[in-house]
Structure 1
Amino acid sequence: MAARDRDTARDGGAGRLAEYRRRRDPRRTPEPVPDDGPLPRGDDDTFVVQEHHARSLHWDLRLERGGVLVSWAVPKGIPADPGTDRLAVHTEDHPLEYAGFHGEIPEGEYGAGTMTIWDRGTYETEKWSDREVKVVLHGARVSGRYVLFRTRGENWMIHRMDPPADPGAEPLPESLRPMEAAGRVRLPRDQDAYGFEFAWGGRRLLAYVEGGRTRFTDGRGRAVGGPAGLGGPLGRAMGARPVLLDGELAALEGRETYLIFDVLHLDGRPLLDEPYRRRRRTLDGLGLNGPRWRTAPWFPGDGDAVLAAARAQGLPGVLAKRLDAPYEPGGRNDAWRLVPARR
């Protein structure tokens, strides 16, 4: 990249965007495709991170340098912790106008998909060479000292040099055994103290979503493969937000669907000690409803009506969960009760 900066001084930068232009037809894409000619002069202090929902979700880090945006595709997002290095694939230089681009790149075009601006701001350069770039980013969502270092070919790694952006953040657990319900023959008497859900009769799955990717464990906490067409789209729906979800895979309207009924970890914060009522409201706020996943409904204080609906729909039963109960991994007690729809 240092050599390319020298070339810019000799030829006005005419060749810096040749690869970018070769891959894009301005008649078919809304992306900025400036005419060939001298590159604009800037202060080499602008950066942008764009969330790119293309064939696979990734984040594009772009740094203004020598009249272009030098770019890397970061599959799992910019690391917020120095203990986590992430792959950053060096891509073609982009025009400065791309720092403000967001929109839909049409199907069939290079990079087809949705591009949004995830963060932007200014940066300072501490070092810039063909193999190592050290910068200090000043953005709304990402700030601090970072180094990008080349490993092989166009593959680089990005490392946070500062302490964690959020010192209190905790990583997702590697594995968790789900909480189970105790079997009971009738609903609790104090229904106002409970929330009620349908028992769907499906396969229990916990979904660990991070960096746009999803992995699953089963009812015994063992790693399992995810259903086709679920893990990737669910990961893309959460974007950069890490989350641990509890649910079951069941037939719904003739299609296998992941029905989500609890959230156990979100944005670096464990929620196991939060009461069921608060966890459910947090889950509802995520708006997780897609083609293969759905937030399961819950009904505070109305067990009789839920049980009657379960019988009418031919469902196995009803789950009664105390509104003030924490989540106990691997536990089974009266805080969660499974009542069959038919005795």
Structure 2
Amino acid sequence: MSDKLARYRSKRDDRRTPEPVPAEPPAPGDDRAFVIQEHHARSLHWDLRLERDGVLVSWAVPKGLPADPATNHLAVHTEDHPLEYLTFHGEIPKGEYGGGTMTIWDTGTYDTEKWSEREVKVVLHGTRASGRFVLFRTRGKNWMIHRMDPPVRDPFPDVEPMLPAERARPPRDASAYAFEFAWGGRRLLVPVEGGRTTASREHPWLRGLAESFGSRTALLDGELVTLGGAEILVFYDLLYDDGRSLVDQPYTDRRAALEALDLAGPHWQTAPSWPGEAGPVRQAAREQELPGVVAKRLDAPYEPGPSKSWLFIPS
């Protein structure tokens, strides 16, 4: 019988990588275990590995498992891996095959409904990945993975940015609002899915932000501004988080979810916000020569287009 791990071994040197490199050919297993690893290599992807005949049959999935049956994701068939890879995580040295950080995203068991050279149909029983999926070969090493169950998340909201109405003075009931700087920049909604964002087409430096989200989905609202001579994306709202639309949630809930992301990077940051602090924030805006402040009603949902729940007060 041929050694199914020969190709795996040929790509690795156990003196240079912490990966398991067993010397012996694989022995048959139970054909029930699976693991999905998040792999920050040259490009972010997820590795799906299914136990089969003593090895882990593997696919690299650039965008992760699809959450909606309406969208299939590419899955590139790679070499079989040893069963020891079910628990492997760590740093593969730069310059080695697959160099980068690998973490276990999910693990569990699976049931096989069909297994052939061109089609693999399974039911995953994991903590984060569960349900029926089918992998089907399209061309060469390229396969597609399709979710067969109903969607597991809300659809991305199709919204226009929420815009403030102008007021000469701050609202009298200041305790009902949060006050933020009006940056005077260019508005930008940033969707993040599968560690990628379409906003990186215009702003390539946003790839790092998207990769930091891993498999988490999000829709962020903010502005491109110039601070200290550098272009910075300042985020001040979160409309979608980890499969759940927040558009109908009050501003306080959206703001709490945004702050929980702890966004801070070389070209992006979370905008400060001060509930009830109209006077000091307006004074600070004057001192920094900003256009003014925006008062955001704490109990208001996200309303696309002009809204009286957000008020622009000039400096």
- Please say if residues 247 and 262 of structure 1, whose CA atoms lie closer than 8 Å, have aligned partners that are also in contact: yes
Q: Note if 1:227 corresponds to 2:197.
A: no
Aligned to 1:188: 171
The change in CA–CA distance for 1:32 and 1:253 in structure 2 (over 3 A counts) is farther
Shift of 1:91: 0.7
Aligned to 2:21: 33
- Please say if residues 172 and 242 of structure 1, whose CA atoms lie closer than 8 Å, have aligned partners that are also in contact: no
Aligned to 1:42: 29
- Please say if residues 146 and 160 of structure 1, whose CA atoms lie closer than 8 Å, have aligned partners that are also in contact: yes
Shift of 1:323: 0.9
| Residue pairs, 1:56-205, within 5 angstroms | 56-164=43-151, 166=152, 169-173=153-157, 175-205=158-188
Relative to structure 2, which stretch is displaced further, 202-211 or 232-241? 232-241
Query: Which residue among 217, 222, 231 is the counterpart of 1:256?
Result: 231
Aligned equivalents of 1:109 and 1:56: distance in 2?
14
Aligned equivalents of 2:68 and 2:52: distance in 1?
26
Shift of 1:272: 1.6
Aligned equivalents of 1:290 and 1:89: distance in 2?
31
Query: Which residue among 15, 22, 25 is the counterpart of 2:10?
Result: 22
Q: Give the secondary-structure state (helix, strand or coil) at the position aligned to 1:182.
A: strand
Aligned to 1:221: none
Instruction: Report the aligned-residue RMSD.
Output: 1.7
Aligned equivalents of 1:108 and 1:203: distance in 2?
40
Shift of 1:282: 1.3
Deviation string 1:91-149 (CA, Å, 9 cap, x unpaired) is 11111111111112222222222111111011122222111111121111112222111
Deviation string 1:240-296 (CA, Å, 9 cap, x unpaired) is 122111001112343211111001122332222211111111111122222222111
Aligned equivalents of 2:164 and 2:148: distance in 1?
45
Q: Give the secondary-structure state (helix, strand or coil) at the position aligned to 1:290.
A: coil
Aligned equivalents of 2:289 and 2:18: distance in 1?
50
Q: Give the secondary-structure state (helix, strand or coil) at the position aligned to 1:92.
A: coil
Instruction: Give the unaligned 5+ runs of structure 2.
Output: none
- Please say if residues 112 and 123 of structure 2, whose CA atoms lie closer than 8 Å, have aligned partners that are also in contact: yes
Aligned length: 315
Aligned to 2:214: 239
Runs (4+) off by over 6 Å:
none
Aligned equivalents of 1:226 and 1:212: distance in 2?
17
Aligned to 1:298: 273
Aligned to 2:255: 280
Q: Give the secondary-structure state (helix, strand or coil) at the position aligned to 1:229.
A: helix
Shift of 1:38: 2.5
Shift of 1:172: 1.0
Q: Give the secondary-structure state (helix, strand or coil) at the position aligned to 1:109.
A: coil
> Which one-letter code corresponds to 1:127 in the other structure?
K
Shift of 1:314: 2.6
Aligned to 2:282: 307
TM-score between the two structures when normalised by the length of structure 2: 0.94
Q: Aligned residues: percent identity?
A: 65
TM-score between the two structures when normalised by the length of structure 1: 0.87
Q: Note if 1:212 corresponds to 2:200.
A: no
- Please say if residues 82 and 163 of structure 1, whose CA atoms lie closer than 8 Å, have aligned partners that are also in contact: yes
Instruction: Give the unaligned 5+ runs of structure 1.
Output: 1-9, 217-223
Shift of 1:69: 0.8
Aligned to 1:320: 295
Aligned equivalents of 1:163 and 1:272: distance in 2?
22
Q: Give the secondary-structure state (helix, strand or coil) at the position aligned to 1:99.
A: helix
